[in-house]
Amino acid sequence: MCPWWEKVAMMDRIRVSSGTAPLLGLAEWKIDVKPTTLYFMVGEKCTGKCAYCTQGKDFLSRVRWPSFPVENATSNLEGKAGRICIQSLYYNGVVEDIIEAVKKMNTSTPISVSMNPTSRENMERLKEAGVERVGIGIDCCTEELFNRWKKNVPPWNEYLDGLRTAKSVFGNATAHIIIGLGESDEDAVRIMRDMYRQGIEVALFSYTPLRGGEPPEMGRYRAMQIARCLIKKGKGSFEFEDGKMKELHIDGYGICREAFLTSGCPSCNRPFYNERVGGPIYNYPRKMSDEEFKKEINEVKKYVRICTSSP
């Protein structure tokens, strides 16, 4: 295995999402929704073997990630978006590659890093290099599901510790959670409550079955989005029966207005990460119309009884 300083010297290319590349003048592809965050990826091969992972040669989830020379991709970032997000694969030397990428970016735009858990020392190094916050893909709502789906990565407790360490070092952190991996509604609500009690933000994703299986039922995913929004605001309540949400209590529908938008780090909209451009849309990457909002509320009503105290 080569020393990390030799590895960094060889990192002359970086992957850029197909939605970000046109914003940076790297490509002339048409984009249906403008990303409000610039998305990059470091690493060529992940040593993790998570059963649900949709990473391919140039893809992660539904997004294509072509590579470009680092100097070209990072030379003109200022004012292009509200945030930069560096996605990272799991491999030896990833922290050094992230630090090198951050230094080359040389920007005042806030930088997030999406990564697997690492040591406090490494997180402090990332902060010193210019990273503003870290997101960690715990993905599964329970330890049992984690052990079933996630292989060749750190254990469940290290993910939880990593999120707490990130919160301590950066003052904020984001937990990535996927709906549709076999969890109950009660499991999902429980882990979201646990995260927000610790001051950790939650980014919800829907399971993207590019290799078989089914995505979560839309009404169920919408209900979990509303639950996340209510838990974050400290409002609303839920009733369950055998793990399934039975009743959803809210003051009024207005509190849910932003629930169906992309959740996670500030300024992140992840266009079409979980969905085809033609829909259905799981995480809206833009402001919703009144008609779209009514449609999604109706989807929730098909899944759970909504009890409101006002229209």
Highest mean pLDDT among 3-7, 183-187, 250-254: 183-187
Collapsing DSSP to helix, strand or coil, 23 comes out as helix
The residue extents of the domains of the chain are 4-308
The answer to whether 98 touches 88, Cβ cutoff 8 Å, is yes
Q: What are phi and psi of 279, to 5 degrees?
A: 90, 180
> What digits encode the pLDDT tens for the residues 79-117?
999 999 999 999 999 999 999 999 999 999 999 999 999
pLDDT at position 150 over 80: yes
User: Residue 87: is it exposed, middle or buried by C-beta count within 10 angstroms (0-12/13-18/19+)?
Assistant: buried
* Angle, CA 18 vertex, CA 219 and CA 218 arms, to 5°: 5
In percent, the amount of the chain with pLDDT more than 70 equals 91
Region of 200 (left: φ > 0; alpha: ψ -120 to 50; beta: rest) is: beta
Helix, strand, or coil here: 203?
Answer: strand
- Report which of residues 44 and 146 the model is more confident about: 146
Q: Cα-atom radius of gyration of the chain, to the nearest Å? A: 19
* Whole-prediction pTM: 0.92
Residues sharing a CB contact under 8 Å with residue 29, sequence separation 6 or more, in sequence order: 18, 21, 22
CA 29, 284, 88, 101 dihedral sign is positive
For 247-296, give the DSSP string: EEEES-GGGGTTTTB--SSTT---TTSSS-TTS--SSBSSPPPHHHHHHH
Report d(CA 298, CA 168) in Å as an integer: 40
Percentage of residues of the chain with pLDDT beyond 90: 74
* Per-residue pLDDT, 1: 39
> Which tens digits make up the pLDDT trace of 167-181?
999 999 999 999 999
pLDDT at 57 over 80: no
Where do runs of H (alpha helix) occur along 106-155? 120-129, 143-149
Q: Which CATH superfamily is domain 4-308 in?
A: Aldolase class I (3.20.20.70)
- Tokens 């697997």 belong to residue: 116
Distance (Å, rounded) from C-alpha 17 to C-alpha 288?
24
Categorize the per-residue pLDDT at 2 as very low, low, confident or very high, splitting at 50, 70 and 90: very low
